[in-house]
Amino acid sequence: MSHRVPIEPQRVDAPLTQSATFLVLSVTESPDAIRTVRKAVAGIDDLTKNVAIRDLSASFACTVGIGSDIWDRLTGLPRPTELHPFRTIKGGVHTAISTPGDVFFHIRSERRDLCFEFERQLMDMLGDAVAVVDVTVGFRYFDVRDVLGFVDGTANPVGAALPASVLIAEEENEVVAGGSYVVLQKYVHDLKAWQALPTEQQEAIIGRTKFDNVELDDAESGQKSHKTLNTIEDENGEEYDILRDNMPFGTPATGEFGTYFIGYSRRLWVIERMLERMFVGNPPGLHDRILDFSKPLTGTTFFVPSSSLLASLDSD
């Protein structure tokens, strides 16, 4: 990658970096809130360049997502076909909860200080137009592992399959062209209970070996692994991929250990089906056993517009 220029705005496929900040905000009822937020997101490219130029080798990038409840007032544009609030999924044992969120900023860099500086300048611009719903700082853990000890993101699409899986095609309509849906869930882990399991049992739950990340077959009992439940195929056997930029977060001193799930997709239904299979089970009743150790604290959905559409929002 060239270090002469910053990463293009709204690049959902920006590199996985050492640090990331996941910032979910709600728009307040202050008189100029909509105008302030609209101006901020429309000018996000300039703010990004202002921070990225300080170290072009740090792969700084920011992706902005807009939520369903604020879309009409913030953009005044036709709605993306699949955009709706995150749907609560209630299984027999576990529930994927839905939480608020109007605007999302996925801030990432090889340097934590650049993420910090961008967040500081952004919040100065937004002021009392927004309230913080959640802010989580993620970090890369060893060779892209989660805190459960397994490699995360192995199934991500590569090459030509990446834009085909993540970006909406030009022919759908000019509002959504080049955009993507993104789903967020903040999971906390019961690490003590997880570590009490034998490695073989952990591997059966995940569907891969822990040390060398080799794919495993599911048990004959009918209980499917996390890997299998997150594999979505249509009736013709065509597999639908998503792009995961998951990151660990936490503080051992407070006993907090977690994974921030973030999935980008051209088709929102693909991620929703994954979650249904995890929480309800396939067949129903055989839920993803990782949920016995991982609890979602949030659940939100956003649409990530193209950079040109985002920039046009402040054209008036």
**Cα separation, 205 vs 184, whole angstroms:** 22
Helices (H), 5-91: 33-42, 44-52, 68-75
CA distance 298 to 96: 8
Q: Which residues have C-beta within 8 Å of that of residue 211, sequence separation ≥ 6?
A: none
Residue 98 DSSP symbol: -
In single-letter form, the type of residue at position 225 comes to S
Catalytic, 128? Answer no
Beta bridge partners of 243: 264
CA-CA-CA-CA torsion sign (295, 301, 307, 313): negative
Q: Taking the mean position of all CA atoms in its chain, how far away is CA 73?
A: 24
Tell whether omega for the bond before 283 is within 30 degrees of 0, i.e. cis: yes
Catalytic residue among 152, 241, 245, 288: 152
Q: Which residues are catalytic?
A: 152
